[in-house]
Structure 1
């Protein structure tokens, strides 16, 4: 009887030990620097930056090995033939089988002319406000933007006007355009701000986002838009998530900005990122709004923005990519 009790206690403690180890793996115990510490660190670095071709090549190889962005960043007829099961990367146990309805919507193969040379990846951080970075952004060969940001005249001096690829989260289609169930014209008109760009949509990340994404595709097609809709490949998004988790970013889901930076690191010869500053104070120790166009905060606990920034800052210091923070010269 005593032996049985001792064994059962051991089993309980062993199970608790496993749970603690799993928790620490998912949510490791470490202290993130404070906003002020990060401001001080960035100020110490100053404007000094030197491109590191070795570092750029290393990261391109790492991302190619883990995620194969050249072939896999978008769903294509080549990588997703009829009958293929696309497992949603944002949900367990949900999938979409490529069928007669969805297969014709896919591009034949990756449409980008690779390799891309100088790329601007533009986040939507409030640090862009009064930055004067618009001209720098537009001078890149390829400009990527996040989540259908406003590009009206009041912002172009800071964020530029050119767009080659813009992401469109299905939640934006749902909230801003009522899931395109009533009127589609306002959506199509608003998309003209992004010119003849690629519209990159995670249609197969979460099940509720599939139908709004497909409606967005048909709305642009029906109005003869000059834009090309690319559906994000859930296998690519899942691989990128695993890559950054192994490199110290622990979150329920990566931000759209980090997905785009990962894509750029895999496809571009030189990457400059703008608008990536998730902290409440700027380099002048003045308050910074969350976005350059509003101060609406995201859901707490969904992204790990400070962790993402620290990874990007490490790449900046190593010369692998360039982070523009504050005013552009």
Structure 2
């Protein structure tokens, strides 16, 4: 008798659990990312035709302004981060930095960019850029943004261009490629000459381990009278941009540097074209694509959600808000 009663209770609980699960799936349906082949077919259906939507651009810029205020907040400045202000790390919520005499002196006075920017090119590092012939198009933009200190040597310029106005530098690159600038600074200084007199954009206050390498990079450029200007990403801006895209369906521990830059460009520029954003294994002609145009080193699994990011960018492309170039720039109308 007791056993039968216990079984009846279990059955009731099992039914309730199933009903709750079905309700949950109805309200929050399971999202399945399209396969690489499905993405290729979708892009090919769209073709090379793209038409700018001025209204769409203005509406999206207003959305970014309302949530994230990129014009004022994209970099840490003396205006938005005075002495004594607490900068909460956006990647580690339990860490913060209180602006003191040392760090305050490193900040630019105010946003140094001459706004509004006109035609901007945001250049990712995707292998889809190889043999794209996009270098000339990229260099014709009024303002060129690049991700994570990519190589711009002669073998690549035909596809990726040579001009740079802003380039990001992840602190992990300083650690791995330049041994945290603890032994020799010359390789770093020499490699940075490829970016001319651009702005170097570093997330010094995103995660605690990244602060010291970022400050060392600042002092290295300052001590060698470099033409480059260091800008520190404002963690408040990075946090609000992350929340913005999470609300648009991107599920990731952290946005990619590329999406942060596209977001910045959409907030600052009259027209934005993105190059090298293609996180898939197949090209449009269904040939294998390397992860980067200069190597095939894959990112840490589960850290970014680049396919989800591309789908969001492609929706903006289809609406005329953002142009995404994924094929050859030499193709007619491409």
| Alignment TM class, shorter chain as reference | over 0.9
Q: Can you list the C-alpha shifts for 1:270-297, whole angstroms capped at 9, x where unaligned?
A: 0000000000000000000000000000
Partner Cα separation in structure 2 for residue 216 and residue 171 of structure 1: 12
Partner Cα separation in structure 2 for residue 308 and residue 125 of structure 1: 14
- Residue 95 of structure 1: aligned partner: 96
Q: Can you list the C-alpha shifts for 1:238-268, whole angstroms capped at 9, x where unaligned?
A: 0000000001111000000000000000000
1:173 equivalent to 2:174? Answer: yes
- Residue 6 of structure 2: aligned partner: none
Partner Cα separation in structure 1 for residue 152 and residue 30 of structure 2: 40
- Residue 54 of structure 1: aligned partner: 55
- Residue 320 of structure 1: aligned partner: 321
Partner Cα separation in structure 1 for residue 51 and residue 111 of structure 2: 31
Q: Can you list the C-alpha shifts for 1:178-220, whole angstroms capped at 9, x where unaligned?
A: 0001111110110000000000000000000000000000000
Q: Can you list the C-alpha shifts for 1:163-187, whole angstroms capped at 9, x where unaligned?
A: 0000000000000000001111110
- Residue 3 of structure 1: aligned partner: none
Secondary structure of 1:119's aligned partner: strand
Runs of 4+ deviating beyond 4 Å: none
1:78 equivalent to 2:79? Answer: yes
Structure 2 unaligned runs (5+)? 1-8
- Residue 115 of structure 1: aligned partner: 116
- Residue 31 of structure 2: aligned partner: 30
1:224 equivalent to 2:225? Answer: yes
- Residue 252 of structure 1: aligned partner: 253
Partner Cα separation in structure 2 for residue 133 and residue 316 of structure 1: 18
- Residue 107 of structure 2: aligned partner: 106
Partner Cα separation in structure 2 for residue 91 and residue 309 of structure 1: 26
Q: Can you list the C-alpha shifts for 1:11-70, whole angstroms capped at 9, x where unaligned?
A: xx99xx79x97xx98xx7211111001100101111010000000000000000000000
Q: Can you list the C-alpha shifts for 1:114-144, whole angstroms capped at 9, x where unaligned?
A: 0000000000000000000000000000000
The Cα shift of 1:92 comes to 2.1
Secondary structure of 2:110's aligned partner: coil
Structure 1 unaligned runs (5+)? 1-5
The Cα shift of 1:101 comes to 1.1
- Residue 3 of structure 2: aligned partner: none
- Residue 295 of structure 2: aligned partner: 294
The Cα shift of 1:97 comes to 0.4
- Residue 281 of structure 2: aligned partner: 280
- Residue 263 of structure 2: aligned partner: 262
Counting matched residue pairs gives: 313
Partner Cα separation in structure 2 for residue 198 and residue 30 of structure 1: 39
- Residue 159 of structure 1: aligned partner: 160
Partner Cα separation in structure 2 for residue 194 and residue 297 of structure 1: 24
User: Aligned-residue CA RMSD in angstroms?
Assistant: 1.8
Q: Select the structure of larger CA radius of gyration.
A: 2
Partner Cα separation in structure 2 for residue 29 and residue 106 of structure 1: 45
- Residue 150 of structure 1: aligned partner: 151
Secondary structure of 2:292's aligned partner: coil
